[in-house]
Amino acid sequence: MCADFDLTHDRPVYVIGGGPGGLAVAAALRARGVRAVVLEKSDAVGASWRGHYERLRLHTTRARSALPGLAMPRSFGRWVGRANVVRYLEKYAEHHALEIVTGVEVTRIERSPDGAGWLLRATGGRELTARAVVVATGFNHTPKVPSWPGREAYESSGGELLHAGAYRDAEPYAGKDVLVVGVGNTGAEIAVDLVEGGAARVRLAVRTVPHLVRRSTLGWPAQLSGILVRRLPTRLVDAVSAAQARIAVPDLSAQGLPRPTTGLYSRVREGAIPVQDVGLIKAVRRGRVEPVAAVDSFAREAVVLADGSRITPEVVIAATGYHRALEGLVGHLDVLDARGRPTVHGGRTPRQAPGLYFTGFTNPISGMFRELAIDARRIARALSRQARTIE
């Protein structure tokens, strides 16, 4: 339920961000009798999902992707598509009668002058006071494009360069020579989408060879494996996953995509999740997606690769990730690590910032929606305990 009401009434818990993480927290708090107000800078919930490419589907099963208090409809299928995720988030907000204010962007969070809560500075000169704040602005917040030398020369000569966040579908690129930079899940899916959508040539620039996993094997989803191994020793998971990959994933070394030399779970510990196969393996084996070296720089009408070769794609799509962009919001509170990520998440708050919570800034192998639901319940428990203590 989107609303435009007096935000100065009492001191609610403010939830910043109307994506799945923020909505889940608000619903879990409401279920425990704690008033939560969601502040969303766009004009509707699920803004990032609305902007994703059309092909995107959850890599986690429908049954293990539901947020607290509302199952996803069976009609959505096992792997829920982008449009249905948006429908689910809209229904979720309505089902839980959530208090949501759209068109309000929080730019800075500070301790309130009386020390009893938090002061939020927002667009339009608003100053909102909260007894607690949950930051749920999302893992994919601000597109990140490397500062490659020569970008301007390439674009001025007619080459097109865009971030993957601006990609919607393959139609504008039919018949074109396209280079996709980055072989995470987004880059891999866009490359396959381009091939199936009629691009004349698709190359995939690879800096670090990814671990490829089947999304499902004999009905067993990769997500379940991700859940089961989270508490196992890293070396054990690395060894088991390597053995499994030798059986389930063909050796693509001859096509330019060799097996990684570091373990799958070791990579996960460093923040790099495996690439779930949605057609990339077949496309690479058939030569329809051509892995090439990483991008080093640009020149007029050309891209210079790390191995010294030069190629001349008409379009470059940078699937190079996102910044969390939390520095302006909370960077002054000493709650971020060296990579700009919150030092805590879920039901814990930083020692120096009690009452400040974060959700949605990890990239778990067990599934983002599942972890958002867990975080939401933990945050709600913590804040409901706090409310009882105050009373």
pLDDT along the chain (391 residues), means of 10: 45 96 98 96 95 94 96 97 98 98 97 91 94 93 92 93 97 98 96 98 97 90 89 94 93 95 92 92 97 96 96 97 93 94 94 95 90 97 75 47
The reply to whether the predicted model has a pTM over 0.85 is yes
pLDDT score at 373: 97
DSSP class of residue 172 equals G
Question: Vertex 343, ends 65 and 350: CA angle to 5°?
Answer: 105
Crossing angle, helix 20-31 and helix 82-95, to 10 degrees?
A: 20
Crossing angle, helix 20-31 and helix 368-390, to 10 degrees?
A: 40
What is the dihedral sign for C-alpha 245, 248, 251, 252?
negative
Cα–Cα distance between 299 and 335 in angstroms, integer? 41
Sorted by where each starts, the structural domains of the chain and their CATH numbers stand as: 2-141+324-390 (3.50.50.60), 143-321 (3.50.50.60)
CB atoms within 10 A of CB 381: 15
What is the dihedral sign for C-alpha 237, 238, 241, 242?
negative
CB atoms within 10 A of CB 288: 18
pLDDT score at 236: 95
Helix (H) or strand (E) holding 285: helix 280-285
